[in-house]
Amino acid sequence: MTTNEYTTADGKYFIKVYGNGWAYSIADNKNSDVDPLWFQDEDAINVQNETEDFTNTMVLDMYFEMIGG
């Protein structure tokens, strides 16, 4: 039940929105060897807030860096 899909303004990440923000799948466009990150429920709210509605991709850079992407 994907409700929206888009690439961040800087082109780094591809975001799929599920259930009007209930969950997010975030893929690194520059590194296809890394699986997309999955956030749901409270974690989805937190990542949306931390990234200022996915406009601050430095936060996503840190998440992907932590998993070795």
- What is the dihedral sign for C-alpha 26, 27, 29, 30? positive
Q: Is the pTM of this model over 0.75?
A: yes
For the beta carbon of residue 54, count every other beta carbon within 10 angstroms: 20
Calpha distance 23→11 (Å, rounded)? 20
Distance CA 2, CA 12 (A): 20
Furthest-apart CA atoms within the chain: distance in Å: 29
pLDDT digits (tens, 9 = 90+) for 36-64: 999 999 999 999 999 999 999 999 999 99
Q: What is the pLDDT of residue 1?
A: 73
Q: What is the pLDDT of residues 2-26, one digit of tens each?
A: 789 999 999 999 999 999 899 999 9
Domains of the chain: which residue ranges? 2-66
